[in-house]
Amino acid sequence: MCGIVGYVGGQSALDVVVAGLKRLEYRGYDSAGVAVLADGGLAAAKKAGKLVNLEKELVDRPLPGGSVGIGHTRWATHGGPTDANAHPHLDNAGRVAVVHNGIIENFAALREELAERGHTLLSETDTETVAHLLAEEFSSVGDLAEAMRLVCRRLDGAFTLVAVHADQPDVVVGARRNSPLVVGVGEGENFLASDVSAFIAHTRSAIELGQDQVVELTRDGVTVTDFDGAPADVRAYHVDWDASAAEKGGYASFMLKEIAEQPKAVADTLLGRIDGAGRLTLDEVRIPGAVLREADKVVIVACGTAFHAGLIAKYAIEHWTRIPCEVELASEFRYRDPILDQRTLVIAISQSGETMDTLMALRHAREQGAKVLAVCNTNGSTIPRESDAVLYTHAGPEVAVASTKAFLTQLVACYLLALYLGQVRGTQWGDEIHAVVRDLARIGDDVERVLETMEPVRALARSLADKDTVLFLGRHVGYPVALEGALKLKELAYMHAEGFAAGELKHGPIALVEEDLPVVVVVPSPRGRSVLHDKIVSNIQEIRARGARTIVIAEEGDDAVVPYADHLVRIPATPTLLQPLVATVPLQVFACELATARGNEVDQPRNLAKSVTVE
């Protein structure tokens, strides 16, 4: 959480930094602030609430112009979302300004120590201690990068820090441990940011910073060291999308744009996965075939929507490879002492590649000797960096907090991975793999067709805007789809929404059903395991008999559901395992429309942030 920008160059730092913060606001929107170096001093402004409040403040009380600056948009951890707790934080002399993403775990001891030395701390944040420590160290070493290295060695926890000092006015310094920080390399200007979208309008040349590194930026140079000052290895890369990919492009929200982009995102994720000899080639999967052949267990770790993708992947992995597969919430994983060894393949799924729970889970897995493969959407992010291998989804930047296109591409990547395991282990024949890849290649068009028929779903969503509860039911791969539908509604519409395995209904949840309660049911294909289909048709009848208003998502041509559907949403017929790729789409549209009808801001739901970089 929290978005950070730093700039040094020839442009107005304030303009560059505020524009960068706009792109990073999805990371947190509790408060925002900026600091610029100008006229031999440092000027700062910060405001609780969304970035627009800061922009108003900058109109009312303009800051002096300067070409070196930093900025921050916050998701509050230590201290509420107030002006005082907003970043940047300054030392008592007002010469140093620092912004921070993460949590400094030993901040209480540091605060006490600083207070004993006569410092006055004005906020409740952990970050402010860093401003004071930097000021102290700078006064002895006279160099901000060195001061940063000395301070970082004293900090516990997760932090990205970016700082400026009025006595070294041509420099911006950053540090990174466990939270993201990327360098943008321009001509006569350089950038620091939590992700590349903040500077993509200026440069597509980026440098990925490693763990425990300090970077010093001047207009013409980028110097990276470790915390001891030794030169560090870095990876430079070219960002393969441009600024327009991170714009709304005429849509009312990023979420609507990202829902609409799903056919392309699915197609892009499939691109180039088959070689001339017709074999699946997942180039980024660098785990040797022998290791994959010997794996006796797959464990998937992920959070939120990515976890739901993992739940679906389990069905494909077990069916196509016959390897047992567990799926676990990353936030629970390492605390239960999971049984892992060299023969365990761990798959970490993450759109951002920065989710701290997932990162900690994969570190734990590697410590136990397991091999970790990341399924990730963000090039250069921490999770792929720390994994043994990576399979990138090619969804492009996902800005809306609610994950949509990333989910569909995570599914595609997991299906490919399952097939690849089947190929390597010989549990799938080449023609079987091709048949699935052909089906996957058609899915983009199916998603497009679903999107073209969504007006009745939108109308239904608007008509339910005053409801308190919506339930979601599914069986087999439809069960995680139900969970995902409920999660979307919770996070966007702030409604009570729950997903259940339809077979579990009679074990308790059916007690929730009352007159006119909307219940969404994801119906499996009648052409797959027909017994599963028949059972869910019975489940629909059971809830309808108790007054539920049934919203049935069923394949075209599935007539058995018609008598029991108060609202029928048709999706194209797909193979059983692939159905989530089309069945999820109406649920995304439903949640987005219902939230909008309730007056909620869909791109920035309350209390949430896109990248969850704290545990």
From residue 200 to residue 229, the character string flagging contacts with ligand M6R as x (rule: CB under 6 A) and all else as - is ------------------------------
| Dihedral angle computed from the Cα positions of residues 490, 462, 28 and 57, in that order, rounded to the nearest 10 degrees | -150
Told to check if 3 binds ligand M6R by CB under 6 A, we report: no
Block residue for tokens 């039911």: 473
β-pairing, 182-185 vs 190-193, is antiparallel
Query: For ligand M6R, which is the closer residue by CB, 31 or 305?
Result: 305
CB of 487 to ligand M6R, least distance (A): 6
Residue nearest to ligand M6R (CB): 304
Query: For ligand M6R, which is the closer residue by CB, 160 or 358?
Result: 358
CB of 610 to ligand M6R, least distance (A): 7
Told to check if 306 binds ligand M6R by CB under 6 A, we report: yes
Considering the candidates 2, 303, 414, 592, report the single residue annotated as catalytic: 2
User: Of residues 343-372, which lie at the interface with ligand M6R (CB under 6 A)?
Assistant: 350-352, 355, 358
Told to check if 382 binds ligand M6R by CB under 6 A, we report: no
How far apart, in whole angstroms, are the C-alpha atoms of residue 369 and residue 364?
Answer: 9
User: Of residues 473-502, which lie at the interface with ligand M6R (CB under 6 A)?
Assistant: 487, 491
CB of 358 to ligand M6R, least distance (A): 5
Query: For ligand M6R, which is the closer residue by CB, 186 or 304?
Result: 304
Told to check if 393 binds ligand M6R by CB under 6 A, we report: no
Asked if 514 and 540 count as a contact pair (C-beta separation under 8 A), the reply is no
Phi-psi region of 163 (alpha: psi -120 to 50; beta: other; left: phi over 0): beta
From residue 286 to residue 305, the character string flagging contacts with ligand M6R as x (rule: CB under 6 A) and all else as - is -----------------xxx
Query: For ligand M6R, which is the closer residue by CB, 43 or 487?
Result: 487
Q: Which residue type occupies 252?
A: A
The neighbouring-strand residues paired with 213 are 176, 226
Told to check if 612 binds ligand M6R by CB under 6 A, we report: yes
248 an active-site residue?
no
Q: State phi, psi for 237 to the nearest 5 degrees.
A: -150, 165
User: Of residues 28-87, which lie at the interface with ligand M6R (CB under 6 A)?
Assistant: none
Query: For ligand M6R, which is the closer residue by CB, 85 or 393?
Result: 393
CB of 77 to ligand M6R, least distance (A): 16
- Please give the sequence-ordered ranges of beta strands (E in DSSP) within 295-454, or none if there are none: 297-302, 325-329, 344-350, 371-376, 389-392
Cis peptide before 456 (omega within 30 of 0): no
Residues in the chain: 615
Q: Hey, CA dihedral for 28, 485, 255, 349, is it positive or negative?
A: positive
β-pairing, 325-329 vs 297-302, is parallel
CA dist 450 → 260, 266, 295, 400, 574 (Å)? 10, 14, 38, 21, 12
610 an active-site residue?
yes
- Catalytic residue IDs: 2, 610
Residues engaged in binding ligand M6R (CB under 6 A): 303-306, 350-352, 355, 358, 401-403, 487, 491, 612
